[in-house]
Amino acid sequence: MSVKTILSELEGCTDSALLNDWHVVAYSTDLEQGKLLPVTLMERDLVLWRSASGDVHAWDDLCIHRGARLSKGCIERDTVVCPYHGWRYNDQGSCVLIPAAPNEPPMKKARAITHPVKERYGFIWVSTGTPEKDIPIFPEWDDASYQKVHCGPYTFRSGYRAVENFMDPSHFPFVHAGVNGIYDNPDPIAPYDVELTEEGWSPARYA
């Protein structure tokens, strides 16, 4: 299988708004050093790993040689070793050793397909596009007076429904009764606006 064929078979989201944003793919604690962690982001199979520096890397779960899944391989000497012919990739995604030709420098195109990745708020965030903004700011994260509740992951049929849900406080007493609403005594919701801010859509303060 040629490199061109391998690349043409990569699947995944083509919506630029989603593609060029950051998405949580795992908890930081899920990724131990020395472990390859397969994850799927918007139908695209990825492999995560943590190099000796502690940095996290997110690559397509695919070896550019013959398309084997890198997540089935292993980590040795701070390189990812493909399970099929043993090609080794360093933390920059470059192939540094082809065992069948150990005395020849690997060709430049022998590279893993790498993606932007960050760790923040205890999560690993990946973009398979070109993110235009940083990860959303979460000012309450370090405020001990807030309790953090981890939810999901969830399967959405429509991202628009998810956005709408976060703008709609009138469902709280019914869907989240006892958490942030009371079933028998729902809060009246005064009219409010939804604003487009630097960080995205946000409900304005209730009138």
Q: Give the binding site for ligand FES (CB under 6 A).
A: 63, 65-66, 68, 82, 84-85, 87
In angstroms, what is the minimal distance from the CB of 162 to ligand FES?
Answer: 37
Q: Closest approach of Cβ 63 to ligand FES, in Å?
A: 3
CB of residue 198 to ligand FES, shortest distance in Å: 43
Q: Would you say 26 or 81 has its CB closer to ligand FES? A: 81
Q: For ligand FES, give the closer residue by CB, 66 or 120.
A: 66
Residue 155: partners with Cβ closer than 8 Å, 6 or more residues away: none
Shortest CB 90 distance to ligand FES, Å: 14
Strand (E) or helix (H) holding 44: strand 44-50
- Residue (94 or 202) nearer to ligand FES, CB: 94
The candidate with the shortest Cα–Cα distance to 55, out of 26, 87, 78, 25, is 78
114-115, strands of its sheet edge to edge? 37-41, 44-50, 56-60, 114-115
**Residue number, 3 or 42, with CB nearest to ligand FES:** 3
* Cα within 13 Å of Cα(71), Cβ side: 14
Task: Classify burial at 50, counting beta carbons within 10 Å of its beta carbon; exposed 0-12, middle 13-18, buried 19 or more.
Answer: buried
